[in-house]
Structure 1
Amino acid sequence: MAPTKSEYTARHLSVLEGLEAVRKRPGMYIGSTDSRGLMHCLWEIIDNSVDEALAGYGQSIKITLHPDGAVEIHDDGRGIPVDVEPKTGLSGVEVVFTKLHAGGKFGGGSYTASGGLHGVGASVVNALSSRLDVQVDRGGKTYGMSFRRGEPGKFIDPAKGPGPESTFEPFVTGSKLEVVGTAKRGVTGTRIRYWGDRQIFTPDAKFSYEELQNRARQTSFLVPGLKITLRDERKMPGTPGENGPFEEVFHHDGGIAEFVDYLANDSAVTDVWRFHGSGKFKETVPVLDENGHSKITEVDRDCEVDVALRWGIGYDTTVRSFVNIIATPKGGTHQSGFEQALLKTFRKVIEANARKLKAGNDKIEKDDVFAGLTAVLTVRLAEPQFEGQTKEILGTSAVRAIVSRVVEKELAAKLGSSNRGDKAQSALLLEKVVSEMKSRISARVHKETQRRKNALETSTMPAKLIDCRTNEVERSELFIVEGDSALGTARLARSSDHQALLPIRGKILNVQKASVGDMLNNAECAAIIQVVGAGSGRSFQLDAARYGKVVLMTDADVDGAHIRTLLLTLFFRYMRPLVDAGRVYAAVPPLHRVEIINAGSKANEVVYTYSENELHKLLATLEQDGRKYKEPIQRYKGLGEMDADQLAETTMEPRHRTLRRVRVEDAEAAERSFDLLMGSDVAPRKEFIVAGASMLDRERIDA
């Protein structure tokens, strides 16, 4: 391959001096050189566009993933400055893309609060790109400039289009920001298209559409009114655009309260509460004077705090924290202040109302307060200090006290409000937190005292449990049986070596509507949790489960289906890991028993069918073959109508039975289904029942 026609001059060294460090140690700037690092580069460019929108200068951002591995970001902000920067003598565009720690976020006038704060974003992306093209619309003109691995110059592209393989001619005597077109009057913005350098990034590093989708949705919530368009032209298998270009638009006019509504996936105990506040602090930082000398100066800072939160009936916690709309997944001082304020305020309120809440002398812990919490925490301040360039942890220490003070004041006012609606919600919330505390203490005591019984020990299990003999969890099966009549038959049908039975009385408590306290006080729910032996909610430990399979065995009628749904609600809500692990099953008992008459001395043949359609097909086949069957055909209304041999053969004997494994492929969809079928909101459930009424088989109703 012929060398590129150019001279390596001293000027090149001055341009590449800072960026060479980036190429030698990319992990210091972007964390890694796999897909995560590639995505981090993209976030750096997107964050610059978002900062323009956050400052009020842009309303839309379009991100396009091209088939050749390039990505393009187009915004309608002010556009990167194109005039000459006096200290370097370079255009604003070249300064931004070739100089570390250069940009509009170091002075006090361009951005009051922004996400890209270290000033290394665009230049680092440029250094780690095999090619980067930038076009800026300003003042009725379109300016353009190209770079190869951080070095400015010109690409001579073939007819097929631009690419990093095109011939590159670096500037030798002086770089030039060229006018490459005209822009409509009043139109401003920046277009950046770049190719990640395969000398830096691993061969399997790819842009993740799912991560982009999540980030775009998140940003559209955090910057109300901003329109973000994603377009994927890669036709990559496993992505929404695998069959052709795919475009998606994210645009939300709500704020973080709407974000909390989106994130929450359980029934609400409280409405979304919104807390606002601000604080001032002093920070000692080095500031450059006019001569470029650093001077330690004490500056005044403002910090704005905005929190939206709500509690639901579940026990999962979702807390998202942001600094100037940049996500801080590992938290930091702002999240520490938030957690500290929540725990302190709840402790104070519960101690003051201990008698009324029956809280006793036990202290609530962080997990008790955070059970069922969905919250979005945002703070805005100038020049926040992050721990590392990846900006995953906020390090500005003064923010902790400000957030804590704001949340403590606002939450205390909410919990002590005399407003009727707030008062009712606060009472429910305090009851939930106390119930979580009692549940945690009970689970700890239970864990300390509970042991799997063996032949020499007495069982502390419920008296109605008919346990199995084996101590091998993998082999053991717990059948939860509907009613005593079915229990009698199942007791004779089971294999006592590895099959245990637990009868329940009809329909258990609907835990989707009930509080944690009500659930624990319900005898049937408590018995099931005790027998499974792995705790409940946050304290559930899959390894402690006493049985390898839990089988729900109910009658094959509408009531049986309802009981099975109630049981599944209990497992989904309070023993989810058992469902996720595929250890919960539904038995499939037959609906009909057809005895086919065989000629001569040959014994009659028995066939079981599991639906009306299956029965009709069987009868049609028998009629076609000229075979007869005994009438009337036996229709099972319940498990108790079966003989032990029939129940064993059809439902309990592993060699012949059919079990349906309950799986949660989409937890959020499952959550919505449970809330629709079992939640407190009646209207959607009524619509669902009315819409499906025509599909109901009247024969299945016991009336």
Structure 2
Amino acid sequence: MAQQNSDYNARHLSVLEGLEAVRKRPGMYIGSTDSRGLMHCLWEIIDNSVDEALAGFGQNIKVILHKDNSVEVHDDGRGIPVDIEPKTGLSGLEVVMTKLHAGGKFGGSSYAASGGLHGVGASVVNALSSRLDVQVDRGGKTYQMSFRRGEPGIFKDAGKNLSPTAVFEPFVSKSVLEVVGSTKRGVTGTRTRYWADRQIFTADAKFSYDDLISRARQTSFLVPGLKITIRDERGLAGTPGESGPHEEVFHHDGGISEFVDFLAADAPVTDIWRLHGTSSFKETVPMLDANGHMASTEVQRDCEVDIALRWGIGYDTTMRSFVNIIATPKGGRHQEGFEQALLKTFRKVVEANARKLKAGNDKIEKDDVLAGLTAVLTVRLAEPQFEGQTKEVLGTPAVRAIVAKVVEQEITAKLTSSNRNDKAQSALLLEKVVSEMKSRISARVHKETQRRKNALETSSLPAKLADCRSDDVARTELFIVEGDSALGTARLARSSDFQALLPIRGKILNVQKASVGDMLSNAECAALIQVVGAGSGRSFDLEAARYGKVILMTDADVDGAHIRTLLLTLFFRYMRPMIDAGRVFAAVPPLHRVEVINPGQKANELIYTYSEQELKTLLAGLQKNGKRYKEPIQRYKGLGEMDADQLAETTMDPRHRTLRRVTAENAAMAETTFELLMGSDVAPRKEFIIAGAADLDPERIDA
């Protein structure tokens, strides 16, 4: 113990002085110590490599998730400097890895615009790692230095079996930057491998492969030409690499226009518009003078704005904002300027064309403009101010006015352009925005005046609705049935106390391809939205829904499946909260009725089956037990073929029926699936049909 104390000298204090604060208060630097904080550390290392590519040095980054819970990041940038830094007498590598607020991103000489701007990223990751190894290729040599919880030294292990628990000897008199190999002339780069310290991070914290893939894809869009490789060697269950090492490569020569095209799920109203502009501003920052004192200095900053956006027929808004390729999910000054300028510009243009657009005196609101918008907003500037080290909000005040000016000029030019193509798209866009405004106002008026009607009041609900008597929303059920024939049987089968019926005739409109106006003018869609009673789109209010359950009851054939898909598309696009709340169900009517013959006076037994496989299993069991059944076996092609007792027993009576709850746990995947099956693009749907043709059972086709 005495030996340890004698080795602990002033040199160690100088190295660990700042990093100890990081270990005591990690949340100040990485937000949290769970998986989110663990991923933030990885972003810091990756962002340093991306900054090299952004500055024009290097075009390859590789991230490897190892089995031993370490992570490795390679790049072919310039490599961290290895020469001696005169003020500290330490190598540039050690300064970057052990000193807070130290690095090449201060002063603006090395990086015009970068993501890691506080100079604490690498040193914070080092402080929160039980082991960190760095190798730098520079000047024809490979240099290496290792750290334990921020302290430089040497781990006494060799070869490939590296471990953070290996014997560690810290440097005492001075640091040693080892030369461990040589490289070809002109080869440069940095390799960082670290093991997160489990004294800091929670036991269940782990690297998210999905988040890593999403970030890599996003970065490859933002830095055209950059190739990012992600390799997962952990073999974790539930990941693509569970059966062996899995690797994905991201490389896009396009820019943010390609990113918008990737993000947009709905059919377009406009092409992808690109807005670009550059401006400068003055900022007062504290800087060291010749005497080493801090003095306020006014500096000139350049701010470059680059935006790609398009409007689609939907109402969801997809917005991605970035500062020097660092995502700002909570927005900031640049996003405020963007939204402010959009609203101001659209209000001005709509007011100027109010008579033509039939907009009246009502004012456009921000949500009306943002409906259906997919946008990627990027700004690049030196030393931006972020609110906190996690860089989720941009705080530089001057950026707001710069972005607003660019957006106002460029969007005004688009909306007032005399170009035939721009003119046609602008007309459609303005019509959409005004329609959104009218829908919002209509929904507000409806919400204020609509009250559930009881049996003694007159009702404005569709005449074909067979409503229920109960006012208890938690208990009531709305069955959407296919056709009048099924309605007749369902009327007799239902419990009119709490079960309501709404018939639809044939196949409703495919709302994935239709505009909001077309959807609202479609009689079946309008009736369904009116009966549910909670509005549609952005104005949908789950609390106002008139029924606790909505049950889609269609025939058990191909047409019935198609109608069910069309109905689900309507709910997914315009009444999504019903699905998210688990209040939309699909009824499961039987496919067959088997009448088992009982001997003597005993009544025959009726057994219902719900699939071909279930029927085969039942018949095999009956033959094995020597039981006979009536032939031919009844095959239900539609709900109208059942009598009321059979429909009630199998499909409508809560005591006996089976319902399938419709969920959208993975909304992005659901969005992609709906677009594939119901969207405007025919080619991918054709490929899907051809690929699945071999799995189709010909017996299921009504011909």
Where on the TM-score scale, by shorter chain, does this alignment land: which range?
over 0.9
Corresponding residue of 1:297: 297
Report the equivalent of 2:377.
377
- Give the fraction of aligned pairs with identical amino acids, expressed as a percent: 83
More displaced stretch, 190-199 vs 218-227: 190-199
* 1:75–1:685 CA distance, 2 compared to 1 (3 A): closer
Match of 2:568 in 1: 568
> Where do 1:177-256 residues align within 5 Å?
177-256=177-256
Question: Contact 1:453/1:459 (CA < 8 Å) preserved in 2?
Answer: yes
Q: Which amino acid aligns with 1:71?
A: V
Q: 1:24-80: CA deviations, max 9, x gaps?
A: 332222222333222222222211111111111111112222333322222111111
Q: Give the direction of change, closer, same or farther, for the CA distance of 1:160–1:668 in structure 2 (3 Å limit).
A: closer
- Which is worse superposed, 509-518 or 601-610? 601-610
Question: CA distance change for structure 1 residues 82 and 594 in 2, over 3 Å: closer, same or farther?
Answer: closer
Contact 1:6 1:169 in 2 (8 A): no
The separation in 2 between residues aligned to 1:110 and 1:392, in whole angstroms, is 24
1:266 touches 1:313 (CA, 8 Å); kept in 2?
yes
The letter for the 2-side match of 1:416 is: T
SS at match of 1:133: strand
- Distance in structure 2 (CA, Å) of the matches to 1:187 and 1:696: 55
2:529 corresponding residue in structure 1: 529
Q: What RMSD in Å do the two structures reach over aligned CA positions?
A: 2.7
Is the CA contact 2:533–2:546 (under 8 Å) kept in the aligned structure 1? yes
Distance in 2 between residues matched to 1:234 and 1:550, nearest whole Å: 43
- The answer to whether the 8 A contact 2:314-2:515 is kept is no
Partner of 1:162: 162
- Residue 335 (structure 2) pairs with residue 346 (structure 1): no
Q: Which residue does 1:518 correspond to in 2?
A: 518
Query: Under a length normalisation based on structure 1, what TM-score does the superposition of the two structures give?
Result: 0.93
Work out whether 1:84 is the aligned partner of 2:73: no
- Taking the aligned partners of 1:128 and 1:239, their CA distance within structure 2 comes to 26
The DSSP-based 3-state class of the residue aligned with 2:378 is strand
* Aligned residue identity for 2:28: M
Q: Choose 425-434 or 629-638, whichever is displaced more.
A: 629-638
Between stretches 657-666 and 646-655, larger displacement belongs to 657-666
Which residue in 2 is equivalent to 1:433?
A: 433
> Which amino acid in 1 is paired with 2:305?
V
- In the aligned structure 2, how far is the partner of 1:421 from the partner of 1:111? 40
- Give the aligned residue type for 2:72: E
Q: Which residue of 2 aligns with 1:389?
A: 389
CA gap of 1:14–1:632, structure 2 versus 1, over 3 A, is closer
Rounded to whole Å, the distance in 1 between the matches of 2:4 and 2:198 is 19
Corresponding residue number in structure 2 for 1:647: 647
Give 1:101's aligned residue: 101
Q: Distance in 2 between matches of 1:157 and 1:699?
A: 66
Tell me the equivalent position of 1:548: 548
Quote how far apart the aligned CAs of 1:378 are: 0.4
Give how far 1:594 is off. Answer: 4.7
CA contact (8 A) 2:597 2:604 kept: yes
Whole-Å separation in 2 of the counterparts to 1:649 and 1:636? 15
Q: How many residues align?
A: 703
Equivalence map 1:659-678=2 (5 Å):
659-678=659-678
Q: Is the 8 A contact 1:345 1:412 kept in 2?
A: yes
Tell me: CA distance 1:280–1:699, structure 2 relative to 1, closer, same or farther (3 Å).
same
Aligned partners of 2:669 and 2:443: how far apart in 1? Answer: 29
Q: Is the 8 A contact 2:100 2:124 kept in 1?
A: yes
SS in 1 for 2:7: coil
Structure 2: which amino acid aligns with 1:474?
A
Task: Give the match's secondary structure for 1:250.
Answer: strand
Q: Aligned pair 1:492/2:492, yes or no?
A: yes
Matches of 2:180 and 2:677 in 1, distance apart? 61
Moved more, 570-579 or 19-28: 19-28
Distance 1:616 1:172 in 2: 79
Letter in 2 for 1:120: V
SS at match of 2:369: helix
Question: Whole-Å Cα distance in 2 between the matches of residues 590 and 149 of structure 1?
Answer: 64
Distance 1:625 1:119, change over 3 A: closer
C-alpha displacement at 1:687, in angstroms? 5.1
Q: Is the 8 A contact 1:265 1:668 kept in 2?
A: no
Amino acid at match of 1:175: S
Quote the offset at 1:570 in angstroms: 1.0
Structure 1 residue 478, shift from structure 2 partner:
0.7
- Which residue in the other structure is 1:446 paired with? 446
SS in 2 for 1:444: helix
When residues 179 and 626 of structure 1 are mapped into structure 2, their CA distance, relative to the original with a 3 A threshold, is closer
Q: Which moved more, 1:524-533 or 1:542-551?
A: 542-551
Q: Could you list the per-position Cα deviations for residues 327-352 of structure 1 after superposition, in whole angstroms to 9, with x for gaps in the alignment?
A: 11111110101111111111112222
Distance, in Å, in 2 between the alignment partners of 1:682 and 1:478 is: 34
What are structure 2's unaligned runs of at least 5 residues?
A: none
Q: TM-score, normalised by structure 2?
A: 0.93
Q: 1:93 and 1:419, CA in 2 relative to 1: closer, same or farther beyond 3 A? A: same
**Alpha-carbon distance in 2 for matches of 1:65, 1:618:** 50
Tell me by how many angstroms 1:384 deviates. Answer: 0.8
Q: 1:601 to 1:256 in 2, by over 3 A?
A: same
Q: Which runs of 5+ in 1 are unaligned?
A: none
Partner residue in 2 for 1:467: 467
CA distance in 2, matches of 1:698, 1:167: 68
CA distance in structure 2 between the aligned counterparts of 1:406 and 1:292, rounded to whole angstroms: 40
Cross-structure match for 1:364: 364
Contact 1:4 1:169 in 2 (8 A): no
Moved more, 688-697 or 586-595: 688-697
Cα distance in 2, alignment partners of residues 313 and 344 from structure 1: 22
Aligned partner of 2:324 in structure 1 is 324
Aligned to 2:284: 284
Distance of 2:621 and 2:299 partners within structure 1: 89
- Give the stretch that moved more between structures: 196-205 or 78-87: 196-205
- 1:42 is matched with 42
Paired residue secondary structure (2:436): helix
Q: In the TM superposition, what is the alpha-carbon distance from 1:458 to its structure 2 partner?
A: 4.2
Once the two structures are overlaid, the 10-residue window that deviates more, 172-181 or 252-261, is 172-181
**Distance in structure 2 (CA, Å) of the matches to 1:695 and 1:203:** 44
1-structure distance, mates of 2:543, 2:102: 54
Cα distance in 2 for residues equivalent to 1:486 and 1:526? 21
**Contact 2:16/2:98, CA 8 A, preserved across alignment:** yes
Conservation of the 8 A alpha-carbon contact between 1:158 and 1:166: no
Question: The residue matched to 2:510 in structure 1 has which SS?
Answer: coil
Q: What secondary structure sits across from 1:146 in the alignment?
A: strand
Evaluate the alpha carbon distance shift between residue 142 and residue 597 of structure 1 in structure 2; reply closer, same or farther with a 3 A threshold.
Answer: closer
